[in-house]
Chain A
Amino acid sequence: MTADPGETPAGTTGAGTADLTLDAKVAAADVPPELTAQSLGQYLRAWWLRVRSGNSGVLPVVLAIVIVAVVFEIITPEHAFLRPSNLVYIFGLSTVYMVLAIAETVVLLLAEVDLSVGAVALIGGVIAFKLVQQPGPDWPWWAAVLAALAICGGIGALQGALTALLRIPSFVVTLAGFLLFSGILVVILGGADSTVSLNTSVPNQNFIYDMVQGLIAPVVGWIILAVVIVAAGTYQWLRSAARRRRGLVAPPLGLTVIRIVLLAIVGAAVVIICSVNRGNSLKSVTGIPWVIPIVLVVLGAWTLVLQRTRYGRYIYAIGGSPEAARRAGISLPAIRISAFALCSATAALGGILLGSFFYGQYSTNTADPGQLVLYTVAAAVIGGVSLFGGRGKAIHGVLGGLLIGGIAYGVSLLSLGSLSTPLQYILPGGVLVTAVLIDVLSRRGAGSATGV
């Protein structure tokens, strides 16, 4: 594989015929590094091979986030981009894109696309906001949220059924859905200039308002972070130990430690940034927005579903080879319809967060379904989800969402005028093209490795 094949440990199976030597180099590049390497050095070398072959996982988007942060810090007036108050604002704004991008990821994995996520998300948000109005329906907040999720899930199922049963391309179905639901959104909102707001003095409504605007005290934040890190570390350590006990290849201990330390550093950075007083001399504001743990729960839930359940495995299988999935006895329509439904339901949660982010107010100004869906698809693809299906994870949606949120806010910080308006479109566009290029090139790399 590399310069020194002697250092390459054979996995659970031996190695040794002509086949191996022919394909070793290409094959090695595609193997998840933790499965071929036993020591940290070998792991890093295998990982670098993968990066060079284009299968770099989250690396490009993390690099892009760093670059965007540095560039905006330099070009924004007074170098304001990286101020804690602005960073917390970016976290809040990004969570909307994160949740929507996770939702879009589920559909993209099937090699489909959902262009209606923006409109459906906003419908979900408006429904939830309307249902807690007082005077009005005055539903408990959780019932309103569940109703919004269920209604949007139904919309998704309907679009999914048109795609899965009649095999109308999802592009067309959801483009029609986008137009249709953008119109219905205005109707539900009550007309072009209407708004629907949460009354924060009512505890029931304040709960939804607090989903983004509510703050967790820094001390509690540290405790949550410590619990998460200990739990993640213990889980990884136990899992590696169990795999070694059964004679399976497990990632080297050094790697596990590095991962946990990185997680701790990122987590601590977020908590520290959120702990800085971002209020004014009269009123101090510190704490972690509730939306951060909410997004982490959404991320965790979707990661579990996609990576560790049969349902998730079938989504990947259909995205990779529908024919293989069909022959394996998987019901393609059932998985496709339910995936569209779950995508739309997850999007509805994003819509509720969006309203909460805009200080509990929905209007046709804050709610632009067109821009929302463009940013959502861009976030998923920039994050590393393949447009061709079968490749990508929930975490990619989260990182892509953060990047898009950072760009969107950074542009708004620029002095209004000739620079900011065009950049608002040019920057995400440029990043998106780069991301798609990486996707296409890495696919081509994987294709040539088949050697047939």
Chain B
Amino acid sequence: MTEVNEAPEGASRGGDGDGAEPLLKLRGIDKHFGPVQALYGVNLDLPAGQVTGLCGDNGAGKSVLTRCIAGAHQPDHGEIFFEGRPVHVRSTRDASALGIETVYQDLALADNLDIVQNMFLGRERLRYGLLDEDSMELQAAETLSTLRVTTVRSIRQPVASLSGGQRQSVAVAKAVMWNSKLVLLDEPTAALGVVQTRSVLDLIKRLRDRGLAVMVISHNLNDVFEVADRIAVLYLGRMVAEGPAANFDRQSVVEYMTTGAANGRPYESAGSASGKG
């Protein structure tokens, strides 16, 4: 019995990555705002080199959870382990120091600044006390080309002149330029056309291939199933399902999102799921 239980767990770990500790591990995260409980004992693993899709209906707690990881909120209870060590993320600066970067839905780009200026905003390089534009431009160009964001005409063009997909790409490139290990993407394909969605999804896959842990928050299940290696579903502040994407199909994810259970049953651990199969 013990052996049987251990083997699938090993298998599920294998599915999680290279069998190592996940890059980020949340255990028992509680968060409330006044009388409103937003998160109840949430557990979540974000392994390196994998894309985790975080799903949930409006108000399920996706944004709150993201903000807890990003340092914008502090959880009331629970533990966050980063690379196996317990950490306290008290601010977005703390998160950046760990290598956690967040791309919010509104992208937070300044339209009047160009791509380079946006990518280095708040972390400008100086030389003799003045902005070192050339070195920043080289670094930004290198990051964009390693991510194969090649559709922009000039990295000195103002962000206002970019298409939605290009803006999203710049925001993502901005997030990964800082040797980040975990990138949180909030609705990266909302408001994008078909072609642009495709290029952003390709970009997300390239982040994974570079060994980054990626969490994608999305309403669009097509996109989630396209890029996600793992899927996690929040329902009314509880993590009702979390596991390899192969354990899910569209129907079950929708049911978890809307009722917290699929086929009338709660999500079973990877071990039981593989036993079921």
Contacts and interface: CB of A to CB of B under 8 A. Distances in A.
Interface stretch (B5-13, B148-156, B204-212): B148-156
Contacts of A8: 153
Nearest to B129: A309
Interface in B11-52: none
Interface in B157-202: 157-158, 160-167, 191, 195-196, 199
Interface string A295-339: 000000000100011100100110111011101111000000000
Contact of A30 (B121, B145, B158): B158
Interface stretch (B82-90, B108-116, B224-232, B253-261): B108-116
Contacts of A284: none
Given A22-B163, A23-B163, A450-B163, A28 B137 contact: no
A248 B137 contact: yes
A330 B120 CA distance: 12
Interface stretch (A9-17, A94-102, A129-137, A394-402): A9-17
A14 B150 contact: yes
Interface residues of B, number: 48
A330 B113 CA distance: 15
A26 B151 contact: no
Interface residues on A, range: 35 or more
B93 A446 contact: no
Contacts of B64: none
A31 B160 contact: no
Interface string A239-250: 000110011110
Contacts of A328: 108, 121-123
B131 interface: yes
B141 interface: yes
A451 B153 contact: no
A19 interface: yes
Contacts, number: 159
A320 B113 contact: yes
B93 A329 contact: yes
Given A246-B138, A328-B121, A13 B150 contact: yes
Nearest to B126: A310
Contacts of A20: 151, 153
Interface string B71-114: 00000000000000000000011000000000010101111110
Nearest to B174: A328
Q: Is the interface of A mostly helix, strand, loop or mixed?
A: helix
A10 B93 CA distance: 36
A308 B131 contact: yes
A406 interface: no
A27 interface: yes
Nearest to B124: A310
A24 interface: yes
B131 A309 contact: yes
Contacts of B155: 11-13
A293 interface: no
A179 interface: no
Contact of B164 (A390, A446, A451): A451
B241 to A, nearest CB: 31
Contacts of A15: 150-151, 153
B112 A391 contact: yes
A28 B158 CA distance: 10
B161 A31 contact: yes
A14 B160 CA distance: 20
B112 A319 contact: yes
B138 A35 contact: no
B134 A243 contact: yes
A19 B151 contact: yes
A57 interface: no
Contacts of B161: 23, 26-27, 29-31, 446, 449-450
Interface of A: 8, 10-20, 22-24, 26-32, 35-36, 242-243, 246-249, 304, 308-310, 313, 316-317, 319-321, 323-325, 327-330, 390-391, 446-447, 449-452
Given A316-B117, A390-B112, 13 more contacts: A13-B153, A15-B151, A19-B195, A19-B196, A23-B163, A27-B161, A28-B153, A248-B134, A325-B110, A327-B104, A390-B110, A450-B164, A452-B164
7 A-B pairs closest in CB distance: A328-B122, A11-B154, A320-B110, A30-B161, A320-B112, A390-B112, A19-B151
